[in-house]
Amino acid sequence: MLRQYRMLAAYNGWANAQVYAAAAELSDAEFRSDRGAFFGSLHRTLNHLLVADRIWMKRFTGTGEAPTTLDAVLYEELDMLAAARKAEDERIIAWTGTLDEATLAASFTYSPLTQSVEITQPLWAALSHLFNHQTHHRGQCHMTLTAIGKPSLQLDLIYFLRSEGREWM
């Protein structure tokens, strides 16, 4: 499991870099236009991904800033958002490098922002959600880019493994 999560952390950073590179080619109006994704625009979806990762990483590590709403806009400008995304991806990669099998299997308790209850589950399940959540919303980013008329991005894990992720093969 450790190797799998470390690979997913590396893939996550790579895939985010692809999306941000495509976003950098957009006009401000395109970046902010509502294209029907859950959070509307590419701007708001990318902010949500950073928000969610910060919330989960605060839960996992006990450190860092955690927004109190899932739709918070942390950064208005793409360059600031991109820098924060890169730093968060590096944080996720570094943290997964510290994990061991016992920690992954151990119970983990947190309270969702959307419910005032405590949830206890193995850490591995919550970590799986973090990566799956990223993939889900990056798919919406991809849809947003293609709806604007931009080229389709190759974000599949296998493309990462065949290029910059060869060490995981």
CA-nearest of 54, 22, 34, 2 to 168 is 2
- The residues spanned by each domain of the chain are 1-168
The yes/no answer on whether domain 1-168 falls in CATH 3.30.1330.10 is no
Buried b (16+ CB within 10 A) or exposed e, 5-35: bbbbbbbbbbbbebbbebbeebeeebbebeb
Instruction: Say which residue the tokens 């999560």 belong to.
Output: 5
Q: Has 48 been labeled as part of a binding site? A: yes
How much of the chain, in percent, has pLDDT values that exceed 70? Answer: 100
Q: Has 136 been labeled as part of a binding site? A: no
Write down the pLDDT at residue 37: 84
- For residue 114, pLDDT beyond 90: no
Residue 159 has a CB neighbour count (10 Å cut-off) of 16
Q: What is the pLDDT of residues 88-97, one digit of tens each?
A: 999 999 999 9
Q: Has 133 been labeled as part of a binding site? A: yes
Which helix (H) or strand (E) segment holds residue 18: the answer is helix 2-23
Q: For the chain, what is the mean pLDDT?
A: 95
Arithmetic mean of pLDDT, 103-118: 93
Arithmetic mean of pLDDT, 74-87: 97
Write down the pLDDT at residue 36: 80
Which residues are bridge partners to 108 per DSSP? 121
Least trusted range by pLDDT, from 31-40, 73-82, 95-104, 116-125 = 31-40
